[in-house]
Structure 1
């Protein structure tokens, strides 16, 4: 009556379920980690490597700054944002840094909030990246002034490379490796 039929072929692209399962077991904030992986995949090259610089408008921004800025809307919602704005305003007022003009006042508060959110964002980002490295989904190194190096500092900036299942998040990378067809000799590229 029912025919078994042909088994479904795996889809080309990423096995999102496998990535989510990994994140659920290794990350303290799996949704945040998944957003981070997607953002890295968005700016990664065909080899899965992103950074140290990302083109933004007419200039270049460090990868970490770009990631923090891209995730900022997540931090600017709800009661925490209101509390932060109140705390920033009171801190600036206490230090005598608030102008009298209401428009300039809002601008100064907004700029200080952006700076504080970016600082907190970099801390959150570092924690999430460490979890992704430990999960085998990401590799990081630092690149810059002198040489590529595993440790930061010395005018070096982060480079993140997607590996394993996460590499398939990069658009254009298939889920099946390019295996040679029978009778075809695979030559190194």
Structure 2
């Protein structure tokens, strides 16, 4: 595909050149390598905790777990609380559950959007190749919506699975 990576150090060096957020890109690349099947293909759907999710949504869900920056979450929570002020119940616990669910959904959606940007950077680095399966494409979901599929570079996939020279 692109520049061949022989170890994790080379991958990180290349990401620092190409990506505006190299640590985030590395986390996404690791998630993709973890799910890669035969031929280093990931997607279009991933089975996660009993539910089948499109690749973008799955990455957003996984990365939402590490996006625990308190100030950012508090600002999101305040904004959502203001938007839902008239719809929240008087019971504080129920209101907090509703706000927490809305914050979690917002963070997941943002993660899915960020994945698209990072996938472009990973493609530019030569570490993945993207294509879509769905409408007018022969596969098991023919006629469905277009769904993202990523194919990892074989050397990158091998280096991440091997975990050699992890910085």
Q: TM-score, normalised by structure 1?
A: 0.75
Match of 2:84 among 80, 86, 92: 92
Q: Secondary structure in 1 aligned to 2:112? A: helix
Contact 1:44/1:170 (CA < 8 Å) preserved in 2?
A: no
Counterpart for residue 71 of structure 2 = 79
Q: Distance in 1 between matches of 2:108 and 2:50?
A: 21
Q: Note closer, same or farther for the CA distance 1:19–1:132 as it changes in structure 2 (3 Å cut).
A: same
Q: CA deviation at 1:164?
A: 5.2
Aligned residues: 156
Higher helix share: 2
Match of 2:50 among 50, 53, 58: 58
Rg larger in 1 or in 2?
A: 1
Q: TM-score, normalised by structure 2?
A: 0.84
Unmatched 5+ stretches in structure 1: 1-12, 173-189
Q: CA deviation at 1:131?
A: 0.6
Q: Note closer, same or farther for the CA distance 1:125–1:56 as it changes in structure 2 (3 Å cut).
A: same
Match of 2:121 among 119, 126, 131: 131
Q: Distance in 2 between matches of 1:42 and 1:143?
A: 21
Q: CA deviation at 1:119?
A: 2.2
Contact 1:144/1:157 (CA < 8 Å) preserved in 2?
A: yes
Cα-to-partner distance string for 1:59-82 (whole Å, 9 max, x where unaligned) = 211111110010002322221111
Unmatched 5+ stretches in structure 2: 163-167
